[in-house]
Amino acid sequence: PKKKKKTVRVYMDGCFDLMHYGHANALRQARALGDELVVGVVSDEEIIANKGPPVMSMDERMVMVSSVKWVDKVIADAPYAITEEFMNKLFTEYNIDYIIHGDDPCILPDGSDAYAHAKKAGRYKQIKRTEGVSSTDIVGRMLLCVRDRQILETPNHASLQRQFSHGSTPGQDNGNASGTRISHFLPTSRRIVQFSNGKGPRPDARIVYMDGAFDLFHAGHVEILKCARDYGDFLLVGIHTDQTVSAHRGPHHPIMSLHERSLSVLACRYVDEVIIGAPSEVTKDMIKTFNISLVLHGTVQESEGVRNI
Ligand code: CTP
């Protein structure tokens, strides 16, 4: 008989603050390097010590990482650097074969490489970092949005700006005095295919439809999508166009573009398919075309979290 192939378990760690499709794409690539992906979410204390306070709490960051469809297991309160001791724990307790990180250098405050031990042990692999998005960039876009709205009031975002003084100063490399946010994301058909499940509904499936802006994809969105998925066997999510979102929420919204929002929703394990640019009203035609059994809408306005910024 053929010998059963050993399961390859890979480990990726990170802060995953203000989780975005760059993080999801990193997790997707990591998962493709093995059969099972274990993710370590770095503790608030370790992030504070190494790069300044995170925006999202440990709990929220855990929810976001766990919601990604390529993740098999999540470890809370992971250390920022892979110490020899933690590496051995990964090998013995979690049966990890490889430790994975993006191809950006990860330097500790003392100048050493956070993955030096893993590299030395020959257990390190790299994935390609996703250009055009980062947590710092997202904070920059949010600050521009707040600045434009409150331009006549006393600026109250100085502390937030200070928090993110590591990396580039938000908004300053934009070079656009009017403060228009710029998405540097170049959506390709291949990227959308990579994020897709590539499966349609079974002929007898109960198809549930939910639409929305899903801007700055957060734990509240994940919860509502999980609920929606439980109503049927196939969850189709309509992502509103940038124009629709602007018309409802004002000229500085959405913060993330249609394609960025679509990828974040597609990466969610409860979602089967998205409509990239859905109308704000569900038409009879859509119900027929997509064979929708049930249209759901949340009772809490999903923009609340965004408005509080
Ligand atoms: N990552 C990536 N592409 C991005 C951002 C992050 O591939 N645009 C990868 C990182 O290389 C890392 C993992 O996602 O392997 C987790 O990243 P994280 O620790 O959250 O932090 P950063 O690299 O600082 O990313 P960001 O600035 O967006 O927080």
**Thinking of the domain 189-307, which architecture would CATH place it in?**
3-Layer(aba) Sandwich (3.40)
Ligand 1, atom nearest to 132 Cα: 8
Distance from the CA of 295 to the center of ligand 1, in angstroms? 35
Instruction: Answer whether 9-127 and 189-307 agree in fold.
Output: yes
**Thinking of the domain 9-127, which architecture would CATH place it in?**
3-Layer(aba) Sandwich (3.40)
217 Cβ below 6 A of ligand 1: no
Structure tokens at 229: 């998925």
Residue ID of nearest Cα to ligand 1 atom 6: 23
pLDDT of amino acid 185: 77
Q: What is the DSSP string of 55-81?
A: SS-HHHHHHHHHTBTT--EEEEEE-SS
28 Cβ below 6 A of ligand 1: no
The interface pTM score, or ipTM, of the predicted complex is 0.93
16 Cβ below 6 A of ligand 1: yes
Ligand 1, atom nearest to 29 Cα: 7
Tell which one of 61, 129, 163 to mutate to probe ligand 1, the residue whose CB is within 8 A of the most ligand atoms.
129
As a dihedral over the C-alpha atoms of residue 280, residue 286, residue 291, residue 296, rounded to 10 degrees, the angle is 10
Total residue length of the chain: 309
pLDDT of amino acid 150: 64
pLDDT of amino acid 143: 87
Q: Which of the 8 DSSP states describes residue 279?
A: -
134 Cβ below 6 A of ligand 1: yes
Please report the sign of the dihedral spanned by the C-alpha atoms of residue 293, residue 297, residue 298, residue 304.
positive
pLDDT of amino acid 203: 93
37 Cβ below 6 A of ligand 1: no
Distance CA 125, CA 88 (A): 17
Ligand 1, atom nearest to 18 Cα: 29
Instruction: Render pLDDT for 77-98 as a digit per residue (tens, 0 to 9).
Output: 999 999 999 999 999 999 999 9
pLDDT of amino acid 148: 67
262 Cβ below 6 A of ligand 1: no
Q: Report whether 63 contacts 222 (CB < 8 A).
A: yes
Can you list the residues of the chain whose pLDDT is less than 70? 1, 148-183, 299-309
Sheet (strand 124-127) strand order = 73-78, 36-42, 9-14, 98-102, 124-127
Cβ neighbors of 251 (< 8 A, separation 6 or more) are none
pLDDT of amino acid 251: 86
Instruction: Render pLDDT for 137-173 as a digit per residue (tens, 0 to 9).
Output: 899 888 887 776 665 455 454 444 434 433 333 434 3
135 Cβ below 6 A of ligand 1: yes
Return the number of other C-beta atoms located less than 10 Å from residue 305's C-beta: 15
pLDDT of amino acid 3: 75
22 Cβ below 6 A of ligand 1: yes
Distance CA 258, CA 214 (A): 9
Domain boundaries along the sequence of the chain: 9-127, 134-183, 189-307
Ligand 1, atom nearest to 14 Cα: 19
Distance from the CA of 286 to the center of ligand 1, in angstroms? 37
Distance from the CA of 16 to the center of ligand 1, in angstroms? 7
